[in-house]
Amino acid sequence: MRPLAGRGCSMLPADSPFPARWWGPGLEAVGLGDVRPDRGTYGCSEFARLPPLPFALSGDFAWLAAVPPQRPNIGKKYAKDTAEGIKLLRASAQSLGVRLPEPFTKFIEAPSLHKRVRSATDCYLDLCPEPIRSPRGGGWLVHFLADSQGCLFWYLYLTADGSDHAVVSAPDYYSTPLEWSGDDESDDEGSEEEGDPKAIAFCAESFEAFLCRYWLENEIQFAQSPVKMPMSEAARQSIERAARQYVEHYRRQQ
């Protein structure tokens, strides 16, 4: 059984209007070439075969708070925009009668947590200032994370009334005019471009579950680098223990 995400609900894959798939990095470097081969920047994996998360998720991100700040991290690039964007997003969601999950707003409003998440593919927080209608499922999408090369984008998916949520990913960028208002050259081009709704994939039952898996898989990637980030021995052992559990679960499937 997958851990629930504390306050903010969690959506089962069977209840999602999207196919369940996990787009993530290959894990061949830790001996998982059979189940997570390297297919370029990201590969598509079976959601049902993902290992259970080795941390209790209660909405407070205690598992992440124990990690020291990292450089670089996903929050640095648009730190000021994120701080302003969450204010606009809160106001927009309220006017639409859509409830944002507490773990999501807690994380977005905490730069100290952003600094503890790093990306092996140089992803960054890129918060949309308003929910947009999902082209599938009848709910709402809130873009919050982008790949640096535009290979993949991640969205908070909210049911029509905001009573439930999940995280989805897509190769297409679903934007809003507010995001393009400061870029005269991209305004019309970016906001009018249509994506393929069938390519949207359910990738996590809650925001905290997504962030935990995303963070852990990236830490597994960084652990293969000869350059190690300074951190306490307790923090390092905690990450190594979690990574070992995660990798061992996959190895049992080989």
The pLDDT of residue 242 is above 50: yes
What does the block give as tokens for 87? 């204010």
Give per-residue pLDDT as tens, 20-42. 999 998 888 888 888 888 888 89
Give per-residue pLDDT as tens, 55-86. 999 999 999 988 889 889 999 999 999 999 99
Give per-residue pLDDT as tens, 140-196. 999 999 999 999 999 999 998 778 999 999 999 998 766 644 444 434 434 445 789
pLDDT band per the 50, 70, 90 thresholds, residue 254: low
193 versus 2: which is more confidently predicted?
Answer: 193
Per the prediction, the chain carries an average pLDDT of 87
Do the Cβ atoms of 201 and 21 come closer than 8 Å?
A: yes
Tell me the CA distances in angstroms from 202 to 21, 23, 47, 163, 220, one per residue in order: 6, 10, 9, 17, 22
pLDDT band per the 50, 70, 90 thresholds, residue 5: very low
230 versus 190: which is more confidently predicted?
Answer: 230
CA–CA gap between residue 141 and residue 158 (Å, rounded):
6
pLDDT the model gives residue 181: 44
Backbone angles phi, psi at 170, to 5 degrees: -160, 150
251 versus 18: which is more confidently predicted?
Answer: 18
* Mean pLDDT score, 231-252: 86
* Mean pLDDT score, 75-103: 95
pLDDT the model gives residue 3: 38
**Overall pTM surpassing 0.85 (yes/no):** yes
Least confident stretch, 60-74, 95-109, 145-159, 223-237: 223-237
Do the Cβ atoms of 20 and 50 come closer than 8 Å?
A: no
CA–CA gap between residue 245 and residue 238 (Å, rounded):
11
pLDDT the model gives residue 151: 92
- β-strand partners of 125: 145
Tell me the CA distances in angstroms from 87 to 60, 112, 218, one per residue in order: 20, 17, 29
Do the Cβ atoms of 154 and 160 come closer than 8 Å?
A: no
User: Packing angle between helix 207-222 and helix 233-251, nearest 10 degrees?
Assistant: 100
What does the block give as tokens for 2? 């997958």
Give per-residue pLDDT as tens, 110-146. 999 999 999 999 999 999 999 999 999 999 999 999 9
What dihedral do alpha carbons 141, 146, 150, 155 form, nearest 10°?
-20
pLDDT the model gives residue 9: 65
